Amino acid sequence: MRRKMNKAVTLLGSIIAATTAITGTAQAAHAAPATPTAARCTTDAKLVPSCGVLWGAAAGGFTSAPRDAELKNWEKLSGRTASIFHTYHKGDEVFPTKSEIAMTQDPAHPRVLLTNWKIAYGSTWAKVAAGQQDKRIDAFAKRVKATYGDKKFFLVLNHEPENDVIARKGSGMEAKDFAAMYRHTIQRLKADGVTNAINVVAYMGNEKWMAQSWWKDLYPGDDVVDWVGLDSYVSAEKGYYHYGKFADLLDRKPTGGGQGWYDWATTKHASKPIMIAEWGVYHRIGHTTDKSAGYNSVLPELAKRPKIKAIVYFDTKHDDQGDRDISINSTAKNLAAFKTLAANPIFNVKIS
């Protein structure tokens, strides 16, 4: 690493080492409990933890199942409340919804909302940037102030923009149009008095897209971005697309070579915390492949990568993600490995 670890990072590494290393006398004397305890880490004005890592999930995939009910079931299954409740919206959909408000105002289960908004739905990025969706932006601003008050929430504008780029001049969906759309929307929201949105730009980190000449043009600017996010997955089945462990989803390099995604984020935007806004380990639907190696690889990587301040699992076992079962309980062994990960005290972060 090119950076010096601060005290919070050192604490993070020691917690992970103490709870994941082979048990020894010295380790046992200092190890944190293997189950959640009272949080010692808290979040700042931008929801960045003072130590530890925020834990979250989107459960149920893109099925018709209610997201709040799916998350509650997932929390029971995994053994930990998700500090981040991940939802998705587009266009003129009315949100925060009643269920989102209830889920993130539950004193017994503190959660913060992470919501994706495809604001240009039915339009183009260029048109949004030109002000043609200001009515849509203003309506959201008015609604969020009335229903959500000053409670902080994470806002992602058009997650995974690489997949939506139309690299043709005048398309309105060029990479530069995304950056302009993002800037305009955030600046408009701020002008409307929305001060509690914590802004996240969420990439795919796919080697195909990172190799494109326009990829660098997607970034909207440090002044309108609070967190840099990544949506990325690994396969547990050797020989299948993106086979690997947690490090592999962070370090994919552009086709032809160059900086991996994590290195890009930590060098080009060193002041920004990193959120793994979607991640998961998958195998083909109907198979029973062992995912435990993928889950077991998470904590050692977090110890080596102190810029990662939040990880948010995307859980589905349905065909809404193609032939991919991303669920944590596809087998009893997989669930056991995931529950061990979830129980680690590194995720004991109090949202403040």
What is the per-residue pLDDT for 288? 94
Look at residue 282 and tell me if it is in a domain.
yes
Q: What predicted TM-score, i.e. pTM, was given to this entire model? A: 0.88
Look at residue 179 and tell me if it is in a domain.
yes
Look at residue 309 and tell me if it is in a domain.
yes
What is the per-residue pLDDT for 62? 85
Tell me the C-alpha distance between 334 and 330, whole Å: 7
Which of 10-24, 110-124, 303-317 has the least mean pLDDT? 10-24
Range of the domain at 171: 7-350
Look at residue 134 and tell me if it is in a domain.
yes
Cβ atoms of residues 274 and 307 within 8 Å: yes
Look at residue 225 and tell me if it is in a domain.
yes
What is the per-residue pLDDT for 61? 84
Using the predicted structure, report yes or no on whether residue 178 has a pLDDT greater than 80.
yes
What is the per-residue pLDDT for 202? 98
Hey, CA dihedral for 321, 327, 333, 338, is it positive or negative?
positive
Q: What is the mean pLDDT of residues 218-236?
A: 98
Cβ atoms of residues 187 and 141 within 8 Å: no
Which of 37-41, 224-228, 313-317, 325-329 has the least mean pLDDT? 37-41
Using the predicted structure, report yes or no on whether residue 27 has a pLDDT greater than 50.
no
Using the predicted structure, report yes or no on whether residue 161 has a pLDDT greater than 50.
yes
Using the predicted structure, report yes or no on whether residue 187 has a pLDDT greater than 60.
yes
Look at residue 200 and tell me if it is in a domain.
yes
What is the per-residue pLDDT for 19? 44
Tell me the C-alpha distance between 61 and 324, whole Å: 11
Look at residue 1 and tell me if it is in a domain.
no
Instruction: Give the pLDDT band (50/70/90) at residue 24.
Output: very low
Which of 18-27, 100-109, 144-153, 306-315 has the least mean pLDDT? 18-27
b vs e for 26-61, b when ≥16 Cβ sit within 10 Å of the residue's Cβ?
Answer: eeeeebbeeebeebebebeeebbbbbbbbbbbbbbb
What is the per-residue pLDDT for 318? 79
What is the per-residue pLDDT for 4? 36
- Give me the CATH number covering residue 42: 3.20.20.80
Give the pLDDT confidence of 72-113 residue by residue, as tens digits. Answer: 999 999 999 999 999 999 999 999 999 999 999 999 999 999
Q: What is the mean pLDDT of residues 285-291?
A: 95
Tell me the C-alpha distance between 209 and 159, whole Å: 14
What is the per-residue pLDDT for 64? 84
Look at residue 2 and tell me if it is in a domain.
no
Tell me the C-alpha distance between 318 and 231, whole Å: 19
Return the half-sphere exposure (C-beta side, CA atoms, 13 A cut-off) of residue 346: 31
Q: Beta strands 54-59 and 308-315: pairing type? A: parallel
* Mean pLDDT for all residues in the chain: 90
| Domain total of the chain | 1
Give the pLDDT confidence of 234-278 residue by residue, as tens digits. Answer: 999 999 999 999 999 999 999 999 999 999 999 999 999 999 999
Highest mean pLDDT among 64-68, 281-285, 321-325: 281-285
